[in-house]
Amino acid sequence: MMTEHISFLFGSGFSAPENIPTVGAINKKLRQLKKDEFYLGSDQRAFFYQTEWRDPNGWMTSSTIDRLFAQEFIAFYCKEVLHDDLDAFNYEVFYDYFSEFLRYQKHKDAIGKFCETFRTTYIKDSVWASDDYNFVWRFSKIFNQRFWTADGSEIL
């Protein structure tokens, strides 16, 4: 009896013909993330805008702060850690960077300095003046998921 062998190939662009983004495309999209390019759904999934439609709840303080923090935290990482070498951005390495802070308090001084600057620059209401850990934890909830288009299909 002859057995067939089946191989599944993942990564390295094998899925690109199925419109699944490559690592390079994901890195490019995330390293230049802007708060006005995405919104947070009621289930906290992140959606990229694909049309002129805008989230009617996008003005809410929590959404605005979370999206602005995402934009500024990635920009901070690119500037301070990567020394403005955007081509060096890798979402998995970035994930490790902020996860190490959440788990082990690594990078505490740099992230703490960033969070303090963020608070003094953008937070006008003390009720939203979260501690460093909670700022990064809230960000991780956005980052640790797939991004979606408004029609519900995955984009990242």
Q: What is the DSSP letter of 86?
A: G
Residues 10-21 have a mean pLDDT of 65
- Residue-wise pLDDT tens digits, 43-69: 777 888 878 888 877 777 788 899 999
- Residue-wise pLDDT tens digits, 106-138: 999 999 999 999 999 999 877 766 899 999 999
* Residue bearing tokens 């067939």: 4
More confident residue, 39 or 44: 39
Residue-level pLDDT at 114: 98
Residue 3: both structure tokens together: 């057995």
Q: How far apart are the first and last CA of the chain?
A: 43
The residues, ordered by sequence, that sit 6+ positions from 94 with a Cβ below 8 Å of its Cβ are 30, 74, 77
